[in-house]
Amino acid sequence: MALELVTIPALKDNYTYLLHDAETGATAVIDVPEAGPIDAELTRRGWTLTEIWLTHHHWDHIDGVPDLIAKHPAKITGASADAHRLPKLDRAVADGDTFNFGGEEIQIFDVSGHTVGHIALYAPASGILFTADSLMALGCGRLFEGTPDQMWTSLSKLAALPPQTIVCSGHEYTQSNAKFALTIEPDNAALISRSEAIDTARAAGQPTVPSTLSEELDTNPFLRAGNPSVQKHMGMLGQSPASVFAEIRHRKDNF
């Protein structure tokens, strides 16, 4: 049986997620922007929180941890490289590490770029990937600490996963990301269709995440830097994907 996934809006435009194994009762939360919405969802479902997985140190992903563990004591997992900036960890992990959750293997990817030490967590049996502010719906995180080469390497790891993978990112930025993506690929039919669907969802107050990796591969300009049509539209045909990615990120920063 696949793990159950619950998407929870938090703060102004953050998302956190619950991952639950019905057989063992194990429940993990991925990032804790604030405790209230998580506590309410756990109570509503009658679930006991057993684990907290933190992707990176930014306040809007960790500030709710003290309040949450005061009511729901749970084991905290985060990157060893980021441990000095995270709440006290019970499990420190690094790229290539694995651990067991609810009978499934969880794989760790270092996805530095947005920050150095940012991790993504992947449950391959259930096909769920938690990317926070690395790979985002139609975007990627701003490079506050890492380099374009680092982020391109990070995104390339994730792009190689099965296309049906469910991508759980950390923010409701998709509508603005779509507007930018259309400046890079104005003739991409899949992107045009997705942008229209996003507008409809947001008008109805619905979230635009999670997405699927296949959607991102077809429409996310930050994953498509090696695509000749993207490179041609940007006047960069034949240049390295990493350099094209860097230019796309530069344009987004100034969009």
Kindly tell me if the per-residue pLDDT of 11 is higher than 90: yes
Percent of the chain whose pLDDT exceeds 70: 100
Quote the pLDDT of residue 233.
94
Residue that the structure tokens 């077809």 belong to:
218
The one catalytic residue among 20, 56, 57, 118: 56
Angle between helices 241-253 and 148-159 (to 10 degrees): 110
Quote the pLDDT of residue 1.
65
Under 8 Å between Cβ of 207 and 7 = yes
171 is catalytic: yes
pTM of the model: 0.97
d(CA 246, CA 234): 12
Quote the pLDDT of residue 56.
98
Answer yes or no: is 199 a known binding residue: no
Kindly tell me if the per-residue pLDDT of 101 is higher than 80: yes
Tens digit of pLDDT for each residue in 240-252? Answer: 999 999 999 999 9
The one catalytic residue among 57, 72, 118, 171: 171
Kindly tell me if the per-residue pLDDT of 230 is higher than 80: yes
The one catalytic residue among 58, 72, 82, 118: 58
Tens digit of pLDDT for each residue in 109-150? Answer: 999 999 999 999 999 999 999 999 999 999 999 999 999 999
Answer yes or no: is 61 a known binding residue: yes
Tens digit of pLDDT for each residue in 191-215? Answer: 999 999 999 999 999 999 999 999 9
The one catalytic residue among 57, 61, 72, 118: 61
Answer yes or no: is 114 a known binding residue: yes
Provide the token pair at 2: 């696949």
133 is catalytic: yes
> Beta partners for 92?
78
Q: Smallest Cα–Cα separation from 144: which of 123, 120, 167, 113?
A: 113
Answer yes or no: is 20 a known binding residue: no
Kindly tell me if the per-residue pLDDT of 227 is higher than 80: yes
56 is catalytic: yes
Dihedral sign (CA 28, 34, 35, 41): negative
d(CA 73, CA 51): 8
Quote the pLDDT of residue 131.
98
Under 8 Å between Cβ of 190 and 213 = no
The one catalytic residue among 20, 21, 31, 60: 60
Answer yes or no: is 60 a known binding residue: yes
> Order of strands, edge to edge, in the sheet holding 98-101?
98-101, 104-110, 119-123, 128-132, 166-169, 211-212
Domains of the chain: 4-253 (3.60.15.10)
